[in-house]
Amino acid sequence: MLNVVVLVSGGGTNLQALIDAERRGELHGGKIACVISSREDAYALTRARQADIPCEVLLRREFKDQNAYDTALLELFKRHQADLVVLAGFMTIIGDRVICEYRNRMINIHPSLLPSFCGEGYYGLRVHKAVLERGARITGATVHFVNEVCDGGPIILQKTVEVLDDDTPESLQTRVMEEAEWHLLPQAVSLFCQGQIEVCGNQVRCKPMEQQEDSI
């Protein structure tokens, strides 16, 4: 059984999707071992505590520099024996040292179809606003491994969501979460924990989509 450590900063809707999947027995080969928040007031901590998941709070402002913060983060990962680190709306910069140590063992969920609408400044409602301003008819979500390039790591899973004529950034955000993010993230975690993901350069090989859907 692999230990999954989830990093959060806000409401924790993707964390809740993982918690619900674990309760249904759908995180095959894995369990949520700890939730680490970059904010003391993140509602994600409430979700974790209600599910009896150990929690940690690590505030960037309490560290003199990035290196000190990264050291503390790595110590938490080791304390909770992290096999997989999941960024679920984590809004604090993680240094290259952490990324290197957890190469192909750290994943992120992004609310667009990478490589579109990604990179520095593209997060939360900003992504969906940009999608609407561009006039895109299709959007979606992506789970990818984290590397040193923002949103640039190997893509694990993607799912499309139709953009409707009357969409607002808020309505689009909700539908992308409900139709894509909350399904993709537990899927990807389960695949990883079962050893069914292989990374070759910037390419990922895993089970065909129809088999993945059978597992959730």
d(CA 132, CA 151): 20
Please report which helix (H) or strand (E) contains residue 71, including its range: helix 66-79
Instruction: Name the DSSP class of 102.
Output: T
CA 178 to chain CA centroid, nearest Å? 15
> Cα(44)–Cα(117) distance, rounded to whole angstroms?
25
- 110 part of the active site: yes
How far is the C-alpha of 34 from the C-alpha of 12, rounded, in Å?
13
Q: Catalytic residue among 110, 128, 144, 183, which?
A: 110
35 within 8 A of 54, measured Cβ to Cβ? yes
Residue 12, C-beta contacts closer than 8 angstroms, at least 6 positions apart: 35, 42, 43, 44, 45, 46, 47, 48, 88, 89
Residue in 185, 134, 122 with CA at minimum distance from that of residue 163: 134
User: What are the CA-CA distances from residue 61 to residues 36, 97, 115, 130 (Å)?
Assistant: 15, 19, 31, 30
Give the active site residues.
110
